[in-house]
Structure 1
Amino acid sequence: MDPSSAAATCNRKKRKDVSPAEDESKRFKASQESEAMPESGSSPCSPSITVKQHRLQEPITQDDLMELLRYAALGKAGGVKQPSWCRLRHQKKIKAMNVAIVEGVTQSHFYKHYLTLQHLRTTYTSRVTFTSPSADLASGIFSSEVPESDSLSQRHKEGSPMYRALMSHPVITRFGTQRRGLTAYVLTQEEMIKKRYPVKGMPGFEEFICTDSVDCVTDSSPLYGIDCEMCLTEKGYELARVSVVDAGGNCMLDQLVKPHNRILNYLTRFSGITAAMLRPITTTLRDVQAKLRTVLPSDAVLVGHSLDNDLKALKVIHMHIIDTSLLYRKDFGQKFKLKVLAETVLKKQIQTEEKNGHNPTEDALAALELAQYFIKTGPRQVVERHLQELWGYAVTEESADCPPTPVLSHRFADILQSLGRSVVFYGKRSDVALDPSNQLWHSSDKEVLASFRKQTKRPFLSVLQFSSYSDQLKSPPPPQEQRYPRLCVGLRDMCVVFAGPFPAAFSERDVRRVFRCCGPIHKVQMLTSAVRVHAEITFKLLEGAVLARRTLNGLSIQRQPIKVTLFILSVGAFLHRCIPNMHLFQVQRPVCGSTLDLDVTLDALMIDGLTASNVYAVKLDASVAESVNVPPKINGHPHAAVDAARPQLAAGKAQMSEKEVKEVFSRFGPVERVVLLAKPGRRATHAYIAFETSEDKQAALSSSEALWKHDYLICPALTPPHLPSWVAMTTPNAAADNEERTQAYDASQAVGQQEMDLLRKMDRRLEKLFRSLPDDTLSVVVLVGCTSAPHPIPGLCLMEVKQRFLRTATWERRAPPTRLSRPVIPDHDTKLEPLI
């Protein structure tokens, strides 16, 4: 059986088993895609960064950050391995790196003023706790030692004539010294626009056709050499002949073309074309364009010499090209002739005087072989072998009496500069381990940003140090005994719910038995000071508190009609069985200053880049499901149909398995990952489900009936995965009582508004910085944290690769894209830590 037909048969069988409720969820998903489809994200081959799962619960250090920066700059070709704590995809396409160091701002500031920091929370989709270094971070970045590798920096001695000649060479300045794949030499769209190559959407190329080209190519994509000959007509130069050769040197196309307009000059001396040759030709430009689209595969890379002229003659737009006139480049934009390059590099004679004009097939093959040689040999070897005969550099050797030159430094900044990559520090005058000529000192953060934005040519590595917040956020300093309560007061209150009244004999164990169906519980405190018994329940996860508030609020033993969802009824029946003497049961949030904007904060967390496609799910025990007494209709559907479709549950406690969860939730869309929230060897009843897109997540959230058949409660995922590790670091003991909470909140009011204003200004400043970065720049923002003893406060490291789709006219107030880089969540064996 044909695989495609088998897959279609399988899909038809799946569709037959889909219930009306699931059909409704699919329709909801389709409507979401059509009505609110966000801008498409970056190309699959664009560089991107994510934090590895097993490192989300561990803070990173300065050494870990340098591991990332070294790999982003040098890659495997420079002898640097992929970082151990994150993954940087398509490193070769990184054009620049920018590190913004914000002193005095901690991770607690970020989450305390989460809504205020709109740019940071919506732009940077990779986020991890940062352990503040004891020394200056900027200086540490520049002075970090690069591991030894077989590169130019280890082969040549600093100060030698050859070294100086290579470091100032235009080829080395543009391409570096490392041998890389062909994608490193494919012209970017910006370069094509600058050099006036045909680009879709640019003025003057409206009538050009586009080849069927993929969005991006790889190092294994095929190369095709191409060359054209033109004649002079009444309308200018027009195509008269085109030749295409493949990577093996085989001629794929060699076609004479009849120009559309009257020919004034055949240019026989250069083109080799005569009137007799074109007289019988009927092939038109449109015919050649069609043949070209047939000959070239979708991932083809075109190679030519001054290829912009050939593409303009063909009136063709092709996205991926390598121009040999820009590979073997000279100073001041001058170019070598193809004939000179072929003679010097390939040792071939082309365009000789004996021949009547140029042979485009011969020229196309020469350009192709020049590109293949450059890619295979690498820019350093090309320059070394042909330094004098091509570029005219005369390197004089040092005499034996001269002292030996010192060995090249292995410091990160020195290695980058030796590879022709600029390094600049922007900030206040300080003892930074960098040559003063590479430092731009300014007295204020405003001047630092303005200086960077004024630069017409961005440096490869730029480090901006914003130091004003360090002094402003320290005044007035909090009392030592209130520092930790102030750090976690907002987050702790978000995980707390109040419940009651309970029967007089209700114990803490009974409360745990009721509320654990919504999520892991960290602490239960019975409140008996009033006439009736209440309880304060603190969940380990924010999702547990949200689910409890939605599902357990407003229940009564008389089952009076109330505005609740199906989930409330299911848990309510269970509560009736457990608490026969309870009359009215309410679950409420604590009301204090830190929870006044709670609803807005929850909405923002739902679309956070780290949780945008995730849901939190709970599996109910069989005793809960069997006690359900549903109304005649559930969300408009007869409950009999729903109950009839529910599987028969075995008696006992609920338990989740990854296979079962994927089977249940995959009908809403592809499930990327399931993380069971349980310690090793323990049964799991709570899980995070990561979908590939946020539309799949919305489809699951809208399908309460379909999930009810399998006894699941769900809500959007809210907790950033790295947050538990930070709270565990910053909280030295159990949660403070209500009195401590009140004291901490009151003490923070004096500086709360000042902090908010400062952090809002910081966020806008970093937004301007990000917008001024070139595309494919690795942007890192480090909130350094507090290093003062005896209680250092960790910072936060935010990372993102600048992509074209982020640059829009409505950047400032646009909602974050729902399709972001794939979310990262804790691994299966991650120990569940409390958030408070």
Structure 2
Amino acid sequence: MRSGGVIDLRVAALRTQHTCIRARSRTKMSASTSSSGKRRAEENGILISDHGVKRQKLQTRAQQVLSVKDVCDLVQYITLGRSHNLRKPSWYSLGGESVSRVNLMILDGLTQSHFYSHFGLFTHLSRKYSSRWTLAPSSGERLTSELFNSEVSNASHKLPVRLWWHPVICRFGLKMTGMRGFLLNEQEMIKHQFPVRGGRDCEGFVCTESDGSVSDSSPLFGLDCEMVCIRALIGRSNECVMLDWMNDVSVCPVIGCQWCCAGWMGLFQCVTRAGPEVTRVALVDSTGECLLDELVKPHNPILNYCTRFSGITPAILDPVTTRLAEVQTRLLELLPRDAVLVGHSLDSDLRALHIVHPHILDTSLLYRREHGRRFKLKHLAQVVLGRQIQCEVREGHDPCEDARAALHLAQYFISKGPQKMLDDHGSDLWELTVEELEAEFDQEKNTKNSSVLFGDVHFKSCKSAVFVGRSSETIDRLVTQQCRRHTCSSDRQVLSVFRKVAASYSLSLLLFSSFSSVGAQHDHLQQVCERLEQMCVLYVGPLPPDVSEGQVHALLRRCGRLRSVRMLHFTHRVHARVVFDFPEGALMALERQGTLRLDGCTVKVRRPLHDSSLDLDERLSERQSDPINDRIIYVCNLSRKPQRRQTQLQSFVQHGRIQHVWSSAEHAGRCSRHAFIEFERADSTQAALQDPNRKQTLCHALTPPHMSLWTHPLSVTIESTEQHKQECDRQLLERKIRKLDRRVGKVFRTLEKHCLSIVILPGAKIDGAEHPGMCFIQMKPA
């Protein structure tokens, strides 16, 4: 029995031990599963607490100050980055939008302090531009000069500089792409005057039934038209001037008609009021088979048949009864929804046909030349295809032959790709000899810095630039070829000139200089900084006679970080002048009025009161209505212990997802007592502000995300003896700001859709003190 009892006890002990081992194993497995789940949750930005409560992983934001180089890099990336491997700036994202043009406005002499001290006067800048950054101080002239003289690195390229910046490579890059990569986008179609839906002078045009689903295998259709000049009188003109593509001039004997050449060989594009009239239309499919070859009877009397070029005579056209509307119907029936039209200078053909089609391959823009020049179709067919077209022995052109040649040129270009095209035809088309390129490449490899200037690259890429503004030595050093200059003596003239040339340039720089002489004055900047600092200043008192600055600091530090505390002993009773880092701190201290006590005595806080601060409440209200702060709150009285502080911030997740959290610089490794929280939605901000159970003190943010400093060492209090003079200066300053802001708004309205507008307040450096500027960016909406 004893032996059996011992055995039973041993068995029971072993069973208990085995049970414990299995329990520990399940616990480990559960912990492992929980840990892996937590890792998966962290990857999605969500943390799971021990109690199963979801906690968002808060993202901190670093306040970035841009430099002139950052702005130049952005302009370079937008204008050249598509095909030249330029690094995308991390501080700004286009969100997948394509940019048609870039407009850069420089408001010389203005600083960030000007903008926020007179925020209510900058109505266009504050409402139209949704993105703002603080900019390191510079000058308008320096920024303009550095933009065009900034280097575009070529160190990693495997091609000579001259080949790398060739217009074909600039537009299409080096990588082999499908057919879709060579289609004209909407901005290019507008630039080259193709008819577009809802475009200028396209009223009454017929739109093809394209559904937009184009692939690399979509069918290609070659199109060509022949046109004649119709009767139309042009003012006092007594002769017709005909211009070919190379600007050679000849005179037509017909009286009262003016027309220029802009067709296949720069021919048949009438510029009379009545426009061109189609007399023959040809359409070929992707195999080159002719689907349509139709003569068309013009509605208007024909002035000149241009038989030498069109091959059309009265005898041929007289019996024809087909009208343009019938041809349009035939074309719409023949073209499938994913059709791609191919032609040479196809804009003139589509305008003559009164047809809008969104998918275009234009061979005159595939085989690009420098400075925007184009090859003739006859020359391309001879050099690339080895084919003779438009022979002189035959009168007129065969539109089927021309359409087929354009189709085959496009197919050849797509099959070879840009780099192979330059390798095979660089010498016979673009005069790029292999020997010269190899010598240049060897020389560049032996050079430490193989960079080129942005101005040169922009110009060689067939892109145009214009500068409109005041003349100076720095501006005058810009190369004329790089940038067209319009010298203006006033801001009003800058606006007037730009309105006339806005649509002619891919990059435009406007220099408004009405503040260039005033904005850089020491006294003027002092007044502006003092006006801005007023939002952060409070007077505290009366205080006990023996109170110290440290005690005042300890009393108010829970409201926000203090920049300075100065005791005022010259008053009847002791007061203190307190300056917060941010206006939110002063606002929170005012809200605690009646609860602040020092040595058993209630302490009052109040705003400064003098002439320049009478409108302070209105200025604070304007800051609260700033759309850039719609989703941001200011939280104070946070714990300095990291874990406790994180828990306090996490409590705001219940109101909505948090996008960023940031605060001022930490001191001695301690966390800041305040923070700014940016939600993803504006209604989350309102929910947090209206929460009756909140434990932290908070308010709607007044400080924009990019701004790290409201006060400045140069800030001074205006003396009473100078108040009358300062009042006159203030009124003049406000009038000038309103006028300049209105001009910014007028420039923005002038811009076409998808134009990227950049406004620069350069800032200033005076007597060793730096006054930061600002950068505003906005895409002109469609």
Where on the TM-score scale, by shorter chain, does this alignment land: which range?
A: 0.5 to 0.7
8 Å CA contact retained: 1:504, 1:533: yes
> Of the candidates 462, 471, 476, which is equivalent to residue 428 of structure 1?
471
Please report the RMSD computed on the Cα atoms of aligned residues, expressed in angstroms: 5.8
2:620 alignment partner, one of 595, 602, 607:
602
Query: Amino acid of the residue matched to residue 748 of structure 1?
Result: Q
Are the equivalent residues in 2 in contact too, given 1:115–1:604 (CA < 8 A)? yes
- Any idea what the Cα deviations from partners look like across 1:448-500, whole Å, max 9, x if unmatched? 332222126432333333334323557xx656xxx774342112210123345
Q: Verify: 1:519 aligned to 2:553, yes or no.
A: no
Select the residue among 745, 753, 772 that pairs with 2:731: 753
**How much identity, in percent, do the aligned residues show?**
27
SS at match of 1:524: strand
Q: Is the 8 A contact 1:227 1:364 kept in 2?
A: no
Q: State yes or no: 1:538 paired with 2:523.
A: no
What is the 5 A alignment of 1:605-624?
Answer: 605-608=623-626, 610-619=628-637
State the one-letter code of the partner of 1:428. Answer: S
Q: Contact (CA 8 Å) 1:225, 1:365: kept in 2 or not?
A: no
Q: 1:687 to 1:465 in 2, by over 3 A?
A: same
Q: Distance in 1 between matches of 2:538 and 2:195?
A: 63
Distance across 2 between alignment mates of 1:82 and 1:395: 33
CA drift at 1:763: 1.9
2:134–2:775 CA contact under 8 A, matched in 1: yes
CA change 1:600–1:80 in 2 (3 A) is same
Residues 321 and 535 (structure 1), Cα distance of their counterparts in 2 relative to 1, 3 Å cut:
farther
Secondary structure of 1:522's counterpart equals: strand
Q: In the superposition, relative to structure 1, how do residues 785 and 617 fare at CA in structure 2: closer, same or farther (>3 Å)?
A: closer
Q: Which amino acid aligns with 1:769?
A: V
Q: Distance in 1 between matches of 2:477 and 2:96?
A: 26
Specify whether residues 132 and 473 from structure 1 end up closer, same or farther in structure 2 by C-alpha distance, changes over 3 A only: closer
Q: What is the aligned counterpart of 1:671 among 617, 639, 658?
A: 658
Q: Given that residues 463 and 506 in structure 2 are in contact (C-alpha distance below 8 angstroms), is that contact kept between their aligned partners in structure 1?
A: yes
Counterpart in 1 of 2:757? Answer: 779
Which residue identity is paired with 1:188? Answer: E
TM-score (norm 1): 0.56
| Residue type of the alignment partner of 1:719 | T
What are the within-5 Å matches in structure 2 for residues 54-69 of structure 1?
Answer: 54=62, 56=64, 58=65, 60=67, 62-69=68-75
2:100 match: 95
Partner of 1:440: 486
Whose Rg is larger? 2
Matched, 1:688 2:676: yes
Q: Structure 1 residue 800 and structure 2 residue 782: aligned?
A: no
Whether 2:537 is the aligned partner of 1:496: answer: yes
User: What TM-score, normalized to structure 2?
Assistant: 0.60
CA-CA distance at 1:153 after TM superposition: 9.2
Question: Of residues 656, 659, 662 in structure 1, which corresponds to 2:645?
Answer: 656
Q: Tell me which residue corresponds to 2:527.
A: 486
SS of aligned partner of 1:590: coil
C-alpha separation in 2, matches of 1:177 and 1:743: 66
Secondary structure of the residue aligned to 1:723 is coil
Query: Do 2:83 and 2:169's aligned partners in 1 also have CA atoms closer than 8 Å?
Result: no
Assess if the C-alpha contact under 8 Å between 2:106 and 2:761 holds in 1.
yes
- Equivalent residues of 1:173, 1:421 under 8 A apart: no
Q: 1:719 to 1:200 in 2, by over 3 A?
A: same
Unaligned runs of 5+ in 1: 1-6, 8-13, 18-51, 158-162, 230-235, 246-255, 257-284, 349-357, 399-403, 556-571, 623-651, 806-836
Give the letter for the 1:433 counterpart: R
1:366-388 Cα distance to aligned partner (Å, 9 max, x none):
899667447x436xx53664579
Q: Distance in 1 between matches of 2:210 and 2:625?
A: 37
Q: Does 1:731 align with 2:719?
A: no
* CA drift at 1:590: 1.9
1:744 and 1:178 map into 2 onto residues whose CA distance is 66
Instruction: Tell me which amino acid in the other structure corresponds to 1:382.
Output: M
Tell me if the contact between 1:114 and 1:601 (Cα under 8 Å) persists in the aligned partners.
Answer: yes
Aligned residue for 1:567? none
Given the alignment of the two structures, is residue 769 of structure 1 paired with residue 757 of structure 2, yes or no?
no
Task: Look up the match of 2:686.
Answer: 701
Instruction: Supply the distance in 1 between the matched residues of 2:544 and 2:212 (Cα, whole angstroms).
Output: 72
* Counterpart Cα distance in 1 of 2:368 and 2:141: 43
Query: C-alpha separation between the residues in 1 aligned to 2:150 and 2:191?
Result: 37
| Aligned partner of 1:73 among 75, 79, 99 | 79
Q: 2: distance between equivalents of 1:653 and 1:803?
A: 43
**C-alpha spacing 1:173/1:155, structure 2 compared with 1 (3 Å):** closer
Any idea what the Cα deviations from partners look like across 1:150-194, whole Å, max 9, x if unmatched?
77994439xxxxx9xx97xxx759937766975674421672698
Aligned length: 598
Indicate if the aligned counterparts of 2:209 and 2:332 stay in contact, CA closer than 8 A: no
SS in 2 for 1:486: helix
* Equivalent residue for 1:113, pick from 96, 118, 132: 118
Contact kept, 8 Å, 1:77 with 1:180, in 2: the verdict is: no
Q: Which amino acid aligns with 1:591?
A: L
Q: CA deviation at 1:711?
A: 0.7
Residues in 1 aligned to 2:191 and 2:485: alpha-carbon distance in whole angstroms: 32
Letter matched to residue 629 of structure 2: T
Q: 2:259 matched to which residue of 1?
A: none
Residues 519 and 185 of structure 1, relative CA distance in 2, 3 Å threshold: farther
**Correspondences of 1:67-216 after superposition (within 5 Å):** 67-75=73-81, 77-83=83-89, 86-89=91-94, 93-124=98-129, 125-132=131-138, 136-149=142-155, 154-156=160-162, 172=168, 175=171, 185-188=183-186, 191=189, 199=197, 204=204, 211=211
Q: Distance in 2 between matches of 1:687 and 1:198?
A: 50
Within 1, Cα distance between the matches of 2:196 and 2:66?
48
Unaligned runs of 5+ in 2: 1-40, 42-47, 52-59, 224-277, 292-330, 388-399, 437-441
Query: Residues 54 and 173 (structure 1 numbering): CA distance in 2 closer, same or farther, change over 3 Å?
Result: same
Q: Residue type matched to 2:682 in 1?
A: K
